């Protein structure tokens, strides 16, 4: 029999040996643990969820990895994508690749009697992943792309629609210009309004037919400006980017969605710092409270310590009893903290109670990523770190004299 553990359970779960002071101390200990678990769960789940949601929004709109021509020189206007060395079928055959779509991008201006706005017209073909784009639509539908002719329908962002006072079925004129050429005018009809909550996308991008972009850029019917590659999971992006780059051809290059907007990635990096800082603070608070609980329990049970020493219990055994006792006190706090924390997270996940300003956070609702491994690590980590931190203060027991402890009242 493990004597320290057995004795710890007896005094931890006994109702007869708890006076008013014990109840208060136990309550404080459990409350601090529960709050630590709740705050840590919320911090990790919302932090990881926000990072993932922002990355996925960028990737689902513009492709996890985009293949572009080196001739474009990082311009918003697409140059003809070279077929030299481009192995598209091998790219599509990669196990992590979900779909690909061709596009041509060209910059221009939308103008009507209300306002004007600089835009990037992204011309897409029949391979456009409209199902993936569907999650961004707040009104209308994706442009219906035909193989021949010119599709007049476009999808614009909610921000552009508001600035230009546009709604579904409204018409708008776009102006495109190339060096040493007269401006080209195109009349479009708004068929869809989308919202990604990412300012750099919503401020400028409109989606339309590729044949318009081909005409503006002077490309023939088979030429494209780039290829968006969509992966099955955003977590594969760093691993698959070099593979796709090797198959893209020496006249082309690849860009990851996570590198397309470095200012957003800098913002996302803050989440890691905040998560680490908050969890550290909560651990410190829990440890301080648990140490306080242990010390008060030792002082309160000085008579019991003296009696155990008189009966032959070693200092190590008595220390183990009180450390186990304190950790057993923590377990209800861990359970209650997990229940409350998970209840809040599930409410947020399915009902979106807490909202954000997308201008500042690139999200309109606080996203939640519930990972049961994180839950186990948080609870186990708090329990283990607390147990280790109790070892040093428990040495106070070795200073207690059995004779004086028995006389102590």
Q: What is the pLDDT of residues 251-288, one digit of tens each?
A: 999 999 989 888 888 888 888 899 999 999 999 999 99
Minimal CA–CA distance to 166: which of 217, 119, 107, 126? Answer: 119
The predicted structure's pLDDT at residue 321: 80
Res 74 pLDDT > 90: no
For residues 356-374, average pLDDT: 90
Longest pairwise C-alpha distance within the chain: 104
Residues 28/289, Cβ–Cβ less than 8 Å:
yes
For residues 319-335, average pLDDT: 85
Bridge-partner residues for 157, per DSSP?
194
Average pLDDT, the chain: 88
For residues 373-392, average pLDDT: 90
Global confidence as pTM: 0.82
In this predicted model, which residue has the larger pLDDT, 355 or 299?
Answer: 355
Q: Which two tokens stand for residue 327?
A: 């950790």
Distance in angstroms (rounded) separating the CA atoms of residues 50 and 407: 60
- With the C-alpha atoms ordered 15, 20, 26, 28, is the resulting torsion angle positive or negative? positive
The predicted structure's pLDDT at residue 405: 55
The predicted structure's pLDDT at residue 358: 87
Res 398 pLDDT > 70: no
Distances (CA, A) of 384 to 7, 248, 287, 378, 389: 20, 49, 11, 10, 9
Res 401 pLDDT > 70: no
Distance in angstroms (rounded) separating the CA atoms of residues 103 and 360: 30
Residue whose tokens read 């140490």: 291
Q: Residue ranges of the alpha helices (H) in 64-209?
A: 88-93, 130-133, 158-163, 199-202
206: number of CA atoms within 13 Å, CB side?
30
Residues contacting 130, CB < 8 A, separation 6+: 142
For residues 372-376, average pLDDT: 93
Residue 214's pLDDT band (boundaries 50, 70, 90)? very high
The predicted structure's pLDDT at residue 16: 54
Residue 329's pLDDT band (boundaries 50, 70, 90)? confident
């Amino acid at each position: 029999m493990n004597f320290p553990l057995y004795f710890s359970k007896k005094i931890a779960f006994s109702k007869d040996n708890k006076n008013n002071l014990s109840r208060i101390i136990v309550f404080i200990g459990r409350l601090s643990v529960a709050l630590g678990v709740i705050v840590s769960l919320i911090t990790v789940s919302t932090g990881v969820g926000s990072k993932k949601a922002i990355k996925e929004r960028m990737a689902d709109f513009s492709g996890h990895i985009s293949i572009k021509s080196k001739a474009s020189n990082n311009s918003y206007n697409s140059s003809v994508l070279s077929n030299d060395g481009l192995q598209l079928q091998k790219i599509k055959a990669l196990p992590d690749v979900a779909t690909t779509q061709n596009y041509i991008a060209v910059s221009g201006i939308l103008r009507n009697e209300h306002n004007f706005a600089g835009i990037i017209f992204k011309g897409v073909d029949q391979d456009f992943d409209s199902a993936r784009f569907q999650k961004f639509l707040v009104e209308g539908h994706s442009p219906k792309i035909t193989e021949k002719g010119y599709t007049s329908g476009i999808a614009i962002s909610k921000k552009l629609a508001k600035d230009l006072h546009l709604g579904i079925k409204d018409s708008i004129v776009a102006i495109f210009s190339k060096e040493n050429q007269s401006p080209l005018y195109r009349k479009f009809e708004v068929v869809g309004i989308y919202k990604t909550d990412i300012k750099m996308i919503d401020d400028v991008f409109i989606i339309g037919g590729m044949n318009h972009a081909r005409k503006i850029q002077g490309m023939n019917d088979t030429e494209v400006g780039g290829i968006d590659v969509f992966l099955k999971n955003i977590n594969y992006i760093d691993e698959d980017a070099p593979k796709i780059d090797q198959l893209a051809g020496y006249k082309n290059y690849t860009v990851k969605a996570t590198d397309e907007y470095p200012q957003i990635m800098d913002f996302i990096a803050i989440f890691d710092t905040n998560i680490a800082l908050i969890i550290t603070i909560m651990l410190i608070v829990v440890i301080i409270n648990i140490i306080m609980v242990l010390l008060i329990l030792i002082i309160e049970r000085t008579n019991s310590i003296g009696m155990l020493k008189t009966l032959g219990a070693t200092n190590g055994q008595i220390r183990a009893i009180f450390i186990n006792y304190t950790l057993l006190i923590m377990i209800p706090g861990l359970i209650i903290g997990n229940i409350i924390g998970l209840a809040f997270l599930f409410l947020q996940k399915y009902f979106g109670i807490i909202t954000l300003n997308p201008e500042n956070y690139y999200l309109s609702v606080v996203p939640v990523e519930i990972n049961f491994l994180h839950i186990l690590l948080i609870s186990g980590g708090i329990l283990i770190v607390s147990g280790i931190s109790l070892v040093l203060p428990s040495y106070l027991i070795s200073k207690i004299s059995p004779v004086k402890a028995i006389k102590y009242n």
